[in-house]
Structure formats: structure tokens, C-alpha cells
Amino acid sequence: MNQARPLPHYLVQRYQGWRATAFNENRAWYRRLAEDGQRPRAMVIACCDSRVHVTAIFGADSGEFFVHRNIANLVPPYSPDGEQHGTSAAVEYAVNALKVAHVVVLGHTNCGGVQGCHAMCSGAAPELEEKTSFVGRWMDILRPGYERVSSLPEDAQIRALERQAVLVSLENLMSFPFVRDKVEAGDLSLHGVLHDIGEGTLTHYEPASDSFVPVA
């Protein structure tokens, strides 16, 4: 692989700073993690967006969360068709191998993936309709959510679609037999959360009211 290059200097400096401080101050903890393996209590499925700092939001340390990130924090429906499915594999590993007690779908405001889905489904982004568009084919997962909000006033559709990205993912999680079995047995709980980047707030989905309410 002749195209690979050394890390940029600024990343090397940050690594050196981390190892000299955070790592050295917690060397025993990191050694324990290495020797004993991981035992996270929760899996968090979040967006790739660099503004969503999953561990900082919840004050988590190394070893606490099994984190999977993708465009628009989406979970595809259960479809064991022999193709490669990174998100489905991560869910399977978290639930069956790590036996997490919680799966949290963490959406966020101003999501570029959600905006792209809205543009594609409304006919404003024909390039995403191309079969060769990886982003477009991934955002097909959210098409059912777009159909639910397409009758809303245009200025409300994207914010509503951000919530749908969480809800569609929760619904799709329940299509996985091993997820459904553990939820019904009381061994696993699913959670839908929306993070407002600018305000720093969290709301979570409440089935009783079918709405997102502030995290108390």
C-alpha cells in the first residue's frame, strides 16, 4: 500500500500529549482494560458528525460504551442476504457477544445526512438517486421516515426527519430477532435520544406521548 503516509504532525502531538498525561495517570486502568477485555453496559449508535462527542455528552470513560457511528445514526432493517453489513454486525456483536443492557440511538440537530435524505426524497438531489451513490443508498433506510413527514410545512420537515432518523432506527432494531427476543425478555432496553448541538440539550423518545421530551 504505497499511498499510506505517516500521521499529520498535529495528530502526533496530540497523541504524545494524551500518552504523557491521561494515559500515564491512568496506566493501571488501561492495563486492566487490555487484560480483562471490554464489558460495556451500553451500545451507542451515533452519527459520524464530528460535532457529536458521544463520550463527552455522557461523561464516559474508556470501556464504558460500545460505539458505532454511521451517516445519520441509522440502523437498517434485518436483512441476512449475504452482503456486508457493518451496522448490523456491530449490533449483533454488542447484543450477543458483549451482552449490553442498553442500545441508545443518538440523533442530532443540523444533520447533513438527514438534510441529504430530504433533498433526495424531495427531488432536489438527483445525484443521490444514482445507484453508484453510497450515501444515497444508505439514506434509502430513512425514506419511510420522509414519507411520514412530507405533508408537514416545508420548514418543519427536516427537524421532524431528524427525529424520524431515531425512530426508524429503533423500529429496525426490533426487526432483528435476537434484539426483539432480548427486549421482550427484559434483558435489553432500547432508547432514542436527540442531541441539540447548539443548545447542548438532550431529548428522549417517550412512547406514551409519542414525542421527544427533555431528559430530566
| For residue 174, pLDDT beyond 90 | yes
pLDDT score at 177? 98
Per the structure, how many domains does the chain have?
2
| For residue 107, pLDDT beyond 80 | yes
C-alpha cell read off for 92: 449483533
What pTM value is reported for the model? 0.96
**Which residues make up each annotated binding site?**
47, 49, 108, 111
pLDDT score at 41? 97
Q: Rounded mean pLDDT of 196-211?
A: 97
Q: Rounded mean pLDDT of 149-164?
A: 96
pLDDT score at 216? 83
Task: Tell me the average pLDDT of the chain.
Answer: 97
- In this structure, the answer to whether residues 67 and 143 fall within a common structural domain is yes
pLDDT digit string, tens, across residues 36-49: 999 999 999 999 99
| For residue 121, pLDDT beyond 80 | yes
- 208 phi and psi angles, rounded to 5 deg: -60, -40
Spatial separation of the C-alpha atoms in residues 175 and 180, rounded to whole Å: 7
Q: Which residues, at least 6 apart from 117, have a Cβ–Cβ distance to it below 8 Å? A: 72, 139, 142, 143, 145, 146, 161
Query: Helix 154-173 vs helix 112-121: angle between axes, to the nearest 10 degrees?
Result: 110
pLDDT score at 105? 98
- In this structure, the answer to whether residues 24 and 42 fall within a common structural domain is no
- In this structure, the answer to whether residues 105 and 149 fall within a common structural domain is yes
**Which residues make up each annotated binding site for Zn(2+)?**
47, 49, 108, 111
pLDDT score at 141? 97
48: domain CATH number is 3.40.1050.10
- In this structure, the answer to whether residues 73 and 157 fall within a common structural domain is yes
pLDDT score at 20? 98
pLDDT score at 200? 97
- In this structure, the answer to whether residues 122 and 20 fall within a common structural domain is no
Share of the chain above pLDDT 90, in %: 96
pLDDT score at 84? 75
Residue 95, domain extent: 38-214
Q: Rounded mean pLDDT of 5-17?
A: 98
pLDDT score at 182? 98
DSSP 76: P
pLDDT digit string, tens, across residues 75-105: 999 999 877 799 999 999 999 999 999 999 9
pLDDT score at 176? 98
Share of the chain above pLDDT 70, in %: 100
- In this structure, the answer to whether residues 56 and 4 fall within a common structural domain is no
- In this structure, the answer to whether residues 54 and 4 fall within a common structural domain is no
pLDDT digit string, tens, across residues 55-67: 999 999 999 999 9
- In this structure, the answer to whether residues 114 and 91 fall within a common structural domain is yes
- In this structure, the answer to whether residues 94 and 15 fall within a common structural domain is no
- In this structure, the answer to whether residues 24 and 100 fall within a common structural domain is no
